Amino acid sequence: MFLHTSKLQFEAKPDRPDALYARKLQELIGGTWGEMTVTMQYLFQGWNCRMEGKYKDLIMDVATEEIGHVEMLSTMVARLLEGAPADTTASMVDKDPVVAAIIGGMDPQQAIVSGGGPTLADSNGVPWNGRYIVASGNLMADFRANVAAEAQGRLQTARLYNMTDDQGVRDMLRFNLARDTAHQNMWLAAIEELQEDGLEGPISPSALFDEEHSEHAGTIWHTSDGTEGPKGRWASGPTPDGMHEFSYLMEPVALGDKASAPKPDPLLYATSPANLGLIEKAIRKLT
């Protein structure tokens, strides 16, 4: 069960409205890598965690914080939209090209649908959806996804930081950047801890290593003609899991047979030689 305080985790006050920027900030609310994604990803990971204790408690701590990030960003977007043009478009466009550009560059749904507030969508107006999250039950695989989410999230926040010089907005983003740094560090530490606790190895899942075709577990297939792929650390030497040796397969050969499809079921009407003459017969019958 959850409780709420109406105070924001960190202040979200722009110095002045900026409708174009309000559109861009949507990416951090409802984008693939926005705050909604980490909120729901961590909540579902917590609820799906099969082990009581430090990992689950950590996940729930961070998940609960993230709901508050959606709140901060939503509040910021509403404030950035204050006074955005909601008036006669055409005459304004003709009179003032800067207003014209703002009208053209705004997210129309922030006005028409939300009445000057945020939507649950990204900077192109595409709605956030539940396929953006993963909660697999395997903590190593999920923490990998969490580091990735915080990394992409900080990257997008950094890009957005450069797109404004509003000191109020920047102040909030300075907090967001720091939280994304903290969370990247935190998931990286948790990945280490999972291994130190002997719960997981570097490769997910820690299973079926004796079933997989291990001769293919360390090779990189050279299927493109760039010549420098084999110059990296991944081209030779031990693999990070300590179980294989890397090698670069310079002239890869297809190991399988022809990619043919099975013979067709007549009731599904695939085109096939078995139909030869059928059409003629059909026409004769009808005419």
Q: Binding of its own copies at residue 251 (CB under 8 A)?
A: no
Q: Among residue numbers 124 through 143, which ones bind its own copies (CB under 8 A)? A: 124-141
Q: How far is the CB of 215 from its own copies (least distance, A)?
A: 8
What single-letter amino acid sits at 61?
D
Instruction: Tell me the β-bridge partners of 220.
Output: 248
Q: Binding of its own copies at residue 74 (CB under 8 A)?
A: yes
In this structure, what token pair is assigned to residue 255? 């190991």
Cα angle, residue 12 at apex, residues 30 and 112 outer, rounded to 5°: 50
Establish whether 226 is an annotated binding residue.
yes
- Specify the residue, 38 or 228, whose C-beta has the smaller distance to its own copies: 228
Q: Binding of its own copies at residue 161 (CB under 8 A)?
A: yes
Q: Binding of its own copies at residue 167 (CB under 8 A)?
A: no
Establish whether 215 is an annotated binding residue.
no
Whose CA is closest to 23, among 112, 100, 108, 129?
108
> 21-44 in b/e burial notation, b at 16+ Cβ within 10 A?
bbbbbbbbbbbbbbbbbbbbbbbb
Binding-residue pattern over the window 40 to 59 for its own copies, x denoting contact by CB under 8 A: x--xx--xxxxxxxxxxxx-
Q: Binding of its own copies at residue 168 (CB under 8 A)?
A: no
Q: Binding of its own copies at residue 100 (CB under 8 A)?
A: yes
Whose CA is closest to 8, among 82, 110, 111, 78?
78
Q: How far is the CB of 260 from its own copies (least distance, A)?
A: 6
Q: Which residues are annotated binding-site positions for Ca(2+)?
A: 57, 61, 224, 226
